[in-house]
């Protein structure tokens, strides 16, 4: 698996979109908590009629832009995405996160609370300003646990920055596969 800077930001945005969609039907988070998650990944503005417009903060280049925009579009029914057969990584990521949190709705609030506890909501909401995005340890941990890496897997993070994903992956493998 390869995770680079844009992929990491894209994955995080898709993760938040999936959580927001699951919350639409499960009421796992309060309106204020949902607003804070929206602020992480969307720029909110108003049009001339006073309607709110949600624009993803992350702007992708082709060929992923169209797919990303369709996944991130606010007010769209994404239920068809969950059963769509696709080779596109963004759609597969959305399906994975949506299915995971649909089956594990009890994990949404703890995930959100860890974001708050580490004061990451405001950091994430401001991230990307300088092209930098540093997911917190618990986000790294959750992603590594969801990937369920095996000792034979190759894990590469070419835009590693602080090496959060490789270190967390190594810790996970050591914990899970003790001799």
**Averaged confidence pLDDT in the chain:** 78
| Helices 89-103, 65-72: crossing angle, 10 deg rounding | 20
Residue 37 lies inside a defined structural domain of this protein: yes
pTM for the full model?
Answer: 0.68
Q: Is residue 68 in a domain?
A: yes
Asked if the structure places residue 116 within a domain, the reply is yes
* Within a domain: 13: yes
Domain holding 81, by residue range, is 5-128
pLDDT by residue (tens digit) across 136-149?
676 777 777 777 77
39: exposed, middle or buried (Cβ count in 10 Å: 0-12, 13-18, 19+): middle
Is beta strand 52-56 parallel, antiparallel or unpaired with respect to 42-46? Answer: antiparallel
- Judge contact between 151 and 173, C-beta under 8 A: yes
Q: Within a domain: residue 148? A: no
Q: Structurally, how many domains does the chain consist of?
A: 1
Place of tokens 């090496």: 163
Q: Kindly state whether residue 162 falls inside one of the protein's structural domains.
A: no
For the segment 38-47, what is each residue's pLDDT rounded down to a tens digit? Answer: 887 888 888 8
87-121 per-position pLDDT tens digit: 778 888 888 889 889 988 888 888 888 777 665 55
- As given in the structure block, the two tokens for residue 139 are 């986000």
Q: Give domain status of residue 152, yes or no.
A: no
| Residue range 52-67, pLDDT digits in tens | 888 888 877 777 888 8
Is residue 153, in this structure, part of any structural domain at all? no
């Amino acid at each position: 698996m390869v995770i680079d800077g844009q992929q990491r930001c894209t994955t995080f945005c898709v993760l938040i979109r999936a959580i927001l969609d699951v919350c639409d039907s499960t009421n796992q988070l309060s309106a204020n908590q949902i607003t804070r998650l929206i602020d992480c990944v969307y720029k909110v503005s108003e049009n001339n009629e006073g309607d709110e417009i949600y624009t993803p903060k992350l702007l992708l280049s082709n060929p992923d832009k169209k797919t990303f925009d369709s996944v991130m579009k606010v007010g769209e029914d994404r239920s068809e995405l969950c059963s769509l057969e696709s080779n596109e990584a963004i759609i597969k990521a959305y399906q994975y996160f949506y299915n995971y949190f649909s089956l594990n709705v009890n994990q949404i609030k703890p995930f959100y609370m860890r974001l708050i506890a580490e004061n990451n909501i405001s950091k994430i909401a401001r991230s990307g300003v300088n092209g930098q995005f540093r997911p917190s340890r618990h986000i790294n941990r959750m992603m590594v646990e969801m990937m369920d890496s095996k000792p034979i897997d190759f894990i590469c993070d070419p835009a590693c920055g602080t090496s959060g994903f490789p270190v967390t992956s190594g810790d996970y493998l050591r914990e899970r596969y003790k001799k």
